[in-house]
Amino acid sequence: MNMLNELYQEVILDHNKRPRNFGELDDANHRAEGYNPLCGDRVTVYLKINGDKIEDIRFKGSGCAISTASASLMTESLKGKSLAEVQELFKRFRSLVTGKGGNGEKSEMGKLSVFQGVSEFPVRVKCATLAWHTLQAAIEDKTGTISTE
């Protein structure tokens, strides 16, 4: 069960059960929907961007533990960040879950580093990145549903 415990860390299980920043954001000025057709996961990301800062961020949707926890932890870690910082964090996050990041990356990622276990499960990478891709689409104001496929 070692690899499993790496994947389903306490923090992930907790955020799956009690997702933070869950629900619509009334004064959002950006939003996008994401969909993973392989497992039916859906997520909507709501953003309030002020200047180049993410002032507020919430999400709703349904999905597996990895995608729900990833969306939840993403919202927690992005509040107050500048758009440039968001891009940097997404890049690092992607490296982390695909196993391409060094340990240096991990230390700078705070709570997001709990997703390192995903790199041992290549088919679950899309679960972890769905919310992030959807965030990207919300920032860029892409219309339509963003698919992982």
Partner 1 sequence: MKSAYDVAGHRPEVSPAFDVAAIRSDFPILKQIIHGKPLVYLDNAATTQKPQQVIDEMVRFYSQYNSNIHRGVHTLSQRATDAYEQARAAARAFLNAKETREIIFVRGTSEAINLVARSFVRPNLSAGDEIIISAMEHHSNIVPWQMLCEETGAHLKVIPINDRGELLLEEFERLLTPRTRLVSIAHVSNALGTVNPIRDVIRMSRKLGIPVLIDGAQAAAHLKIDVRELDCDFYAISGHKMYGPTGIGVLYGKRQHLESMPPYQGGGDMITSVTFEKTTYNEIPFKFEAGTSNIAGAIGLGAAIDYINGIGKEVIAPYENQLLAYATEMISAVPGVRIIGTAGEKTGVVSFVLEGVHPHDIGTVLDQEGIAIRTGHHCAQPVMERFKVPATARASFALYNTREEIDALGRGLHHVIELFK
Query: What string of DSSP letters covers the chain?
Result: -HHHHHHS-HHHHHHHHS-TTBS--TT-SEEEEEEETTTTEEEEEEEEEETTEEEEEEEEEE--HHHHHHHHHHHHHHTT-BHHHHHHHHHHHHHHHTT---HHHHHTSGGGGGGGGGGG-GGGHHHHHHHHHHHHHHHTT--SEEE--
CB of 87 to partner 1, least distance (A): 28
Piece of the chain touching partner 1 by CB under 8 A; list 11-19, 76-84, 98-106, 131-139: 11-19
User: According to the binding rule CB under 8 A, does residue 82 interact with partner 1?
Assistant: no
User: According to the binding rule CB under 8 A, does residue 65 interact with partner 1?
Assistant: yes
19, 30, 33, 41: residue in contact with partner 1 (rule CB under 8 A): 41
CB of 44 to partner 1, least distance (A): 14
What are 22's strand-pairing partners? Answer: 59
24, 38, 87, 100: residue in contact with partner 1 (rule CB under 8 A): 38
9, 28, 42, 76: residue in contact with partner 1 (rule CB under 8 A): 42
CB of 24 to partner 1, least distance (A): 20
Binding site for partner 1 (CB under 8 A): 1, 3-4, 7-8, 13, 16-17, 38-42, 62-66, 121, 124, 127
